């Protein structure tokens, strides 16, 4: 998704804009650009390619000025090209904008503007915004923006600079993220907090339709009627170091290794004696719920699959787990007796946000599990439980996933507690939860083994993953991780389904990862594994002590922990196998091709 930076300062604007865009690289992009307001002229440099290409283009220019906007573009409308890159500028170069999101009615707006004599230089939806601002500008940029916003259908985070208001950057949003920062040296806008951290930890959050005007020493806020509003300055507990690689080669490896710590942080304060404490949910009455939906995308959806299994077992409330992009169009059966849970690392995923809004509209009680403080999903849900994973920079989700699993475990236990179910069984589970960080650390010590397992995939084009029950959710996530970072085609199957079709794919040399961590069905998975070995598969088995088989290519014995927590343990080797396979194949681990960290368009 696109990344945006903006600044009004008494110093130079460009260094902030560029470092911020670098911090936003994880969002994925194919072109980049900046506009600086310099001696009452807008100077725009933009180019297809990476930030190094932009820097190269900038090295031939002197771009000095105190106000500016920057953008990394992830193409939606129009190919990656110099002309389609942002910022976009009006004809007489007095207004420049950057946009993240999609203007759905841009064709209609473009026709209107063409009729008025405007010329377009790009194929983007975003360019209509700058010409509309030009068209409605009558001496007050806020009033022009107010009118333009009434014309736009779609999503946007927008930043505007104009020579008519030379100290200011005007910023607004709807359904796309942007956060505002303030320090003694200036005020800032950015798509995400890591872009601000080197300059400030003091931020304001915008709601949809709010307008912020950056000045060098303060920010003014307005509602959509241009009435001034007050915003609270919030201190972000992350430090800049947390957003750096800490000596690891890649963010993904660093984030995999952070898991013992962030699991501990996520558990902190949430267990007291034999009780789960989730004060965030204290006001919820769980007794009227007759069903629940767990909704998310990608990795967060896999966390939901595990979480739903646990929640239903513990509370006996039936749970339907759905991918957000399906849920929102499936006319789900929701009413005031429905609990809807939305899981999202970024808290900005467009489909998950739309699903949340649908559930709210239909009177469900909504809970968000989110990682990014103040993100839209976390603010719009009735209740939010935060994972404490810290900033996740690598595109492939690792520590966010395991902390989501921890939160969903706590949620199942907490809801059961509140419903007076099975609480007496928790002693063991709680003891095991407390041991989790240490056990995850122990599994990380076996990293060299997982690098060896990755060797099986060095020449492979396909890999198969099998498991049952909670292990099925784990292998779905293992397969997703592998394909997204190493581009090895990987599929996950319920082990019991193999003989209903997929086993036809197995031949001599096929690589199959099997997880058999659930004591009540591990033996059945082992039988399915034998069927694949008989057909020539190289099986890498993750199982419990006593369940080993002598004809697997490799066997990893999982630590002794409560079965409901094994998904968290198993995640570690599967993440590392994906990581080392990607390294063997020379892939860009932190920024896999075609992927973006935060999917803020449908």
Residues that bind ligand F6R (CB under 6 A): 297-300, 344-346, 349, 352, 396-397, 484, 598-599
Q: Which CB sits closer to ligand F6R, 354 or 452?
A: 354
CB of 596 to ligand F6R, least distance (A): 8
Residue (262 or 599) nearer to ligand F6R, CB: 599
Q: Is-catalytic flag, 2?
A: yes
Q: Which of 174, 291, 481, 597 is the catalytic position?
A: 597
Least CB distance from residue 345 to ligand F6R, whole Å?
3
Burial class (CB in 10 A: 0-12, 13-18, 19+), 29: buried
CB of 11 to ligand F6R, least distance (A): 34
The span from the CA of 343 to the CA of 9, in Å, is 37
Strand partners, 172: 158, 211
140 or 588: whose CB is closer to ligand F6R? 588
Q: Between residues 26 and 311, which has the closer beta carbon with respect to ligand F6R? A: 26
Q: Could you write out the three-class secondary structure of 188-244?
A: EEECCHHHCCCCCCEEEECCCCCEEEECCCCEEEECCCCCEECCCCEECCCCHHHHC
For residue 44, give the nearest of 36, 56, 32 by alpha carbon.
36
Work out how close the CB of 480 gets to ligand F6R at its nearest, in angstroms, rounded to a whole number.
Answer: 6
- How far apart are the C-alpha atoms of 57 and 346, rounded to whole Å? 32
State the minimum distance, in angstroms, from the CB of residue 600 to ligand F6R: 9
Closer residue to ligand F6R, CB minimum distance, 8 or 397: 397
Minimum distance from residue 457 beta carbon to ligand F6R (Å): 18
Question: What's the rounded Cα separation, in Å, for the pair 419 and 413?
Answer: 10
DSSP letter for each residue of 41-76: EEEEEEEES-HHHHHHHHTTS----SEEEEEEE--S
Residue 547 tokens read as 């369940």
Q: Rounded to the nearest whole angstrom, what is the least distance from the CB of residue 306 to ligand F6R in the complex?
A: 14
Residues whose CB is less than 8 angstroms from the CB of residue 141 and which lie 6 or more positions away in sequence, other chains included: 95, 133, 160, 162, 164, 165, 168, 170
Q: Which is nearer to ligand F6R, 124 or 376 (CB)?
A: 376
DSSP annotation string for 411-453: HHHHHHHHTT-SGGGHHHHHHHHHHHHHHHHHHHTTHHHHHHH
Measuring CA to CA, which residue among 375, 367, 435, 438 is closest to residue 407? 367
Write down the least CB distance from residue 110 to ligand F6R, Å: 30
- Are the CB atoms for 100 and 125 separated by under 8 Å? no
Instruction: Return the number of the residue (10 or 489) whose C-beta is nearest ligand F6R.
Output: 489
Rank residues 345 and 469 by Cβ distance to ligand F6R and give the closer one: 345
Nearest to 34 by CA among 53, 144, 125: 53
Closest to ligand F6R by CB, 467 vs 478, is: 478
Output the smallest distance, CB 157 to ligand F6R, in A: 16
- The residue among 28 and 298 lying less far from ligand F6R, judged by its C-beta, is 298
Shortest gap between Cβ of 368 and ligand F6R (angstroms)?
10
Q: Which member of 2, 297, 304, 587 is catalytic?
A: 2
- Catalogue the E-assigned strands of 312-355: 319-323, 338-344
What is the spatial distance between Cα 191 and Cα 589, in angstroms, rounded to a whole number?
22
- Rg (C-alpha) for the chain, rounded Å, is 25
> Concatenated DSSP letters for 76-114?
SSS-S-TTTSSPEE-TTSSEEEEEES-BTTHHHHHHHHH
Residue facing ligand F6R at closest CB distance:
298
Q: Is 143 part of the annotated catalytic residue set? A: no
- Distances in Å between the Cα of 185 and the Cα atoms of 9, 10, 14, 182, 200 are 6, 7, 14, 8, 9
Rounded Cα–Cα distance for residues 306 and 472 (Å): 9
Task: Of 208, 261, 233, give the one whose Cα is nearest residue 399.
Answer: 261
Q: Indicate the length of the chain as a whole number.
A: 602
Q: Please state the three-class secondary structure of 343-367 as a single string.
A: EECCCCCHHHHHHHHHHHHCCCEEE
Residues identified as active-site:
2, 597
């Amino acid at each position: 998704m696109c990344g945006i930076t903006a600044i009004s300062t008494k110093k130079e604007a460009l260094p902030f804009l560029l470092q911020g865009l670098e911090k936003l690289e994880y969002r994925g992009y194919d072109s980049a650009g900046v506009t600086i307001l310099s001696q009452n002229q807008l100077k725009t440099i933009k180019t297809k390619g990476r930030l190094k290409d932009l820097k190269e283009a900038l090295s031939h220019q002197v771009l000095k000025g105190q106000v500016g906007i920057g953008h990394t573009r992830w193409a939606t409308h129009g190919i990656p090209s110099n002309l389609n890159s942002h910022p976009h500028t009006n004809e007489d170069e007095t207004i420049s904008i950057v946009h993240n999101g999609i203007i759905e009615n841009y064709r209609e707006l473009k026709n209107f503007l063409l009729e008025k004599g405007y010329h377009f230089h790009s194929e983007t939806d975003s360019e209509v915004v700058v010409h509309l601002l030009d068209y409605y500008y009558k001496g007050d940029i806020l009033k022009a923006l107010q009118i333009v916003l009434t014309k736009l259908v779609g999503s946007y985070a927008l930043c505007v600079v104009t020579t008519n208001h030379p100290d200011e950057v005007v910023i607004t949003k709807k359904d796309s993220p942007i956060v505002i920062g303030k320090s003694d040296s200036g005020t800032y806008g950015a798509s995400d907090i890591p872009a601000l951290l080197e300059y400030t930890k003091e931020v304001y959050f915008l709601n949809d339709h709010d307008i912020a005007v950056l000045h060098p020493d303060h920010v003014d806020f307005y509602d959509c009627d241009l009435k001034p509003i007050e915003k609270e300055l919030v201190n972000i507990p992350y430090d800049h170091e947390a957003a750096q690689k800490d000596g690891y080669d890649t963010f993904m490896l660093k984030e995999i290794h952070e898991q013992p710590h962030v699991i501990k942080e996520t558990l902190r304060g949430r267990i007291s004696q034999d009780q789960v404490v989730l004060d965030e949910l204290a006001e919820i009455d769980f007794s009227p719920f007759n069903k629940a939906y767990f909704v998310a995308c990608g990795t967060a959806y896999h966390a939901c699959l595990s979480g739903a299994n646990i929640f239903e077992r513990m509370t006996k409330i039936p749970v339907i787990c759905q991918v957000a992009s399906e849920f929102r169009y499936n006319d789900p059966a929701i009413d005031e007796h429905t609990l809807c849970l939305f899981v999202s690392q970024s808290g900005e995923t467009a489909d998950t946000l739309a699903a949340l809004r649908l559930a709210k509209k239909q009177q469900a009680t909504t809970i968000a599990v989110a990682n990014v403080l103040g993100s839209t999903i976390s603010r719009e849900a009735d209740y939010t439980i935060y994972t404490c994973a810290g900033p996740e920079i690598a595109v492939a989700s690792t520590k966010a996933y395991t902390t989501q699993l921890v939160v969903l475990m706590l949620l199942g236990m907490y809801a059961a507690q509140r419903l007076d179910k099975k609480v007496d069984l928790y002693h063991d589970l709680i003891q095991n939860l407390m041991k989790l960080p240490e056990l995850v650390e122990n599994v990380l010590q076996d990293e060299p083994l997982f690098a060896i397992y990755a060797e099986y995939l060095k020449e492979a084009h396909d890999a198969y993953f099998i498991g049952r029950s909670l292990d099925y959710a784990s292998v779905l996530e293992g397969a997703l991780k592998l394909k997204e970072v190493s581009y090895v085609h990987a599929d996950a199957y319920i082990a019991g389904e193999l003989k209903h079709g997929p086993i036809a794919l197995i031949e001599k040399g096929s690589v199959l990862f099997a997880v058999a961590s659930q004591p009540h069905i591990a033996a059945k998975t082992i039988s399915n594994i034998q069927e694949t070995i008989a057909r020539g598969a190289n099986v890498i088995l993750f199982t419990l002590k006593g369940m080993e088989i002598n004809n697997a290519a490799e066997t990893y014995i999982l630590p002794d922990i409560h079965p409901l927590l094994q998904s968290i343990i198993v995640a570690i080797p599967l993440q590392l196998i994906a990581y080392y396979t990607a390294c063997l194949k020379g892939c860009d681990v932190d920024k896999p091709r075609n992927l973006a960290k935060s999917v803020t368009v449908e």
